[in-house]
Structure 1
Amino acid sequence: MSVEVTDQDAALAYYVDVLGCELRTDVEVFPGGRWVEVVPPGSTVGIALVTRESGIPVALRLGTSDADEAHARLTSAGTAPHQAVIREAYAPPMFAFDDPDGNALVYLEDAPG
């Protein structure tokens, strides 16, 4: 899951210092694209704090054991993913798509084990 923020440092301070979340990830995945992810207390579900300017989609993120299979399944069911499965060194295989109401979703391949 992700939320759009205007200032990642201020949002990170709020989510960690006020809400008690744990910082999971804070990396620049590409120039201008900073991925900041926190985890609420007692949860394993991360919340990405992203800016509109970063180009990283504000979307619900879903796990899958096989991104290629999920891409093929959605395509055969009439959903048009935004792109082929993306493979980058900094992230698991993934692809974005919209649900019938236009909500953004991203499938991320789960790490083995």
Structure 2
Amino acid sequence: MSLTTRVLSVSVPVADQDAALRFYTEVLGCELEADVEVWPGARLVQVRPPGSAVALVLLPPDSEIPVAVRLGTPDAAAAHAAIRAAGVRLDNEELVRMDGMTPMFSFADPDGNGLVYIEEDGG
């Protein structure tokens, strides 16, 4: 079983989410998919270029939401166990489970780049 099914989204650090949202939608033609407060003070803005399988998440550099590449996985618990067994430092000791969202967790590659596994529906 492959741990990774696809790239879901990539974070783009932005100084001003409203200005970035205008740029990505009005200038580049991306479509707004989400503009939500995930928890108090944590705003997630997600856009997608038309026809693209990968979305862009516009995050301020001080966001509590990790700036990361978000990857799909069929089984977040199995991926969590495999990543831990490989000796990778996990940002989440347990799977993160938020209302209305599938299980996920974050970690970093050997160069410190943020990665998040998100269990895909049907996984």
TM-score, structure 2 as length reference: 0.86
Q: Which runs of 5+ in 1 are unaligned?
A: none
1:43-64 per-residue CA deviation (whole Å, 9 max, x = no partner) reads 0211100112331111111111
Q: Indicate if the aligned counterparts of 1:29 and 1:90 stay in contact, CA closer than 8 A.
A: no
Residue among 18, 42, 47 paired with 1:38: 47
Q: Indicate if the aligned counterparts of 1:87 and 1:93 stay in contact, CA closer than 8 A.
A: yes
Q: In the alignment, is residue 99 of structure 1 matched against residue 119 of structure 2?
A: no
Q: Indicate if the aligned counterparts of 1:38 and 1:48 stay in contact, CA closer than 8 A.
A: yes
Q: Which runs of 5+ in 2 are unaligned?
A: 1-9
The size of the alignment, in residue pairs, is 113
Matching residue of 1:109: 119
1:103 and 1:48 map into 2 onto residues whose CA distance is 15
Matching residue of 1:26: 35
1:21-50 per-residue CA deviation (whole Å, 9 max, x = no partner) reads 011111101111011100012102111001
Percent sequence identity over matched residues? 55
Higher helix content, 1 or 2: 1
1:50-104 per-residue CA deviation (whole Å, 9 max, x = no partner) reads 1123311111111111110100011111112111210011432111101111111
Q: Indicate if the aligned counterparts of 1:23 and 1:37 stay in contact, CA closer than 8 A.
A: yes
Could you say which structure has the greater relative contact order, defined with CA pairs below 8 angstroms and 6 or more residues apart?
2
Residue among 17, 20, 30 paired with 2:26: 17
TM-score, structure 1 as length reference: 0.93
1:17 and 1:112 map into 2 onto residues whose CA distance is 34
Give structure 1 regions of 4+ aligned residues with deviation exceeding 2 angstroms: none
Matching residue of 1:64: 73
